[in-house]
Amino acid sequence: MEVEALREYLSRGAILVVQITPFKEDESLDIEGLRLNTEFLVEKKSLGPMVLVPTGSTGEFYALNDEERKKVISTVVDVAGGKIPVIAGTMRAGAKWTVELSKYAEDIGVDGVMVVLPYYHVPGEDGLLEYFKKIANSINIGLLIYNNPDVSKIYVNPRLMKRLVAEIPNLVGVKENTPYIATFYEQVKAVDGRIPVIQGRGEWWYISTVLLGATGYVSGYANFMPELSFEILKAGISKNFSKLGEFLERISILEEFISDMNIKYGPSTSILPPPYIQGYMVYAVIKAAMDIIGLRGGRVRLPLLDLKREDRKHLERILFEDLFLEKRG
């Protein structure tokens, strides 16, 4: 998909499904499982505008070696077969290796790349601008900025976002992860419709910010409950706030379970204050949910932890009795 077409596709409202990376019990890559999971999503393409996003944070990209990352991206591109756009996570802490992986992704047929803010060393605004410009100038496909302070310690504020939009012609959107609703609105005003501001924190946050201009959202839950995720998107696009309120109550049961798991498996060690990240058990929950409904979630890799048997039983009740999901097959 050409850059302008991809930007327009995202601007109309879409769900970007950040795919999990399934691992076997010995922590080896489960490519067969990845193909099965991707086929499941491709089968659901009639639900609405969808983008597949392999090797993002939900895909535990940091826990993959370079060969594994390339294998995951190429597998998703192969299964998608041009039926659904693919935006691959190609982020590394430095520009040189991010450029290399982004070029690889372009060569094998992705429609765009997603790049999180550089982590570890903290750059100044000019360094951050040059970082994204170097990556964007190295490819002829779209660039999606992943504006996530939770994992990077830095943030592209609205002033800098204006500069990025003005100076990077193949910028197709921003995955906006600020936990501050007022700041989210400032980003929407800053880009002034030139690129979509996509809610990066999932269903609950999309419902809470769609009135402020959230253009679609990024979802990990859509890996296992795409029908419900797309019902939420449709209600948001049509501004059906009564329906959105119902969905908010419905998914709050799952959100509360994840919060409980974050506490049970150890409070967050993040130095960031609330309302930033409080824990990462969400990825173990998503993988367990996929196993429960008949997909291939598998285990997580350390330092993340898997759910214990009793918690998986609790999750199973939530999926089938509260969210009314059905077992696949």
**DSSP state letters, 55-105:** SSTTTTGGGS-HHHHHHHHHHHHHHHTTSS-BEEE---SSHHHHHHHHHHH
Query: Phi and psi for 156 in degrees, rounded to 5?
Result: -85, 105
pLDDT over threshold 90, residue 278: no
Sign of CA dihedral 198, 202, 203, 206: negative
The CATH number given to 3-237 is: 3.20.20.70
Element of type H or E holding 242: helix 241-264
Q: Which amino acid is residue 171, in one-letter code?
A: L
pLDDT over threshold 90, residue 198: yes
pLDDT band at 73 (very low <50, low <70, confident <90, very high): very high
pTM surpassing 0.85? yes
Place of tokens 């379970």: 257
Cβ atoms of 231 and 177 within 8 Å: the answer is no
Residues forming the active site: 146, 175
Place of tokens 């008949």: 294
User: What is the C-alpha separation between 122 and 153, in angstroms, rounded?
Assistant: 7
Give the pLDDT score at 271: 84
User: What is the C-alpha separation between 72 and 70, in angstroms, rounded?
Assistant: 5
pLDDT over threshold 90, residue 272: no
- Convert the pLDDT of each residue in 212-231 to its tens digit: 999 999 999 999 999 999 99
Q: Across-strand partners of 147?
A: 176
Q: What is the chain's mean pLDDT, rounded?
A: 97
